[in-house]
Amino acid sequence: MRTRFRIADATRTKDPKSESVYNATRDRLRSIFMSAGTSILGIVPLAIFLRQRSEFDRGLGIEIAGGLAFLTILTPTVVPTLMALLQDFSGDRRKHIIGS
């Protein structure tokens, strides 16, 4: 949500869109890594502790922790890029509809 406001501010102040996307992503990195890190650390006991009949739990814990780690890397890279591209597309579309 904060990224959207940064890009809207950039259009009002005529800053380059790529710079506003970068700044918004940089501002959110700490919260993204903190929330993902606590979730991954909470799953670690499920993945590493050996108990009787824990084969299913161990596999599930590894899958969840790996998925969270992978998506934590994707969130600050792919999402802002897609948002900037979609905003470019919607801006071009508006220009064609309005006729300016």
Tokens of 46: 């499920």
Give the HSE-up count for residue 42: Cα atoms under 13 Å, Cβ half-sphere. 8
> pLDDT tens across 2-29, in order?
555 555 555 566 667 677 777 878 888 8
| CA–CA distance, 47 with 19 (Å, rounded to integer) | 40
pTM to 2 decimals? 0.62
Three-state SS annotation for 49-96: CCCCCCHHHHHHHHHHHHHHHHHHHHHHHHHHHHHHHHHHHHHHHHHH
pLDDT tens-digit readout, 60-90:
899 999 999 999 998 888 888 888 788 777 6
Helices and strands, counts by H and E, the chain: 3, 0
Identify which of 7, 11, 37 has the alpha carbon closest to the alpha carbon of residue 24: 7
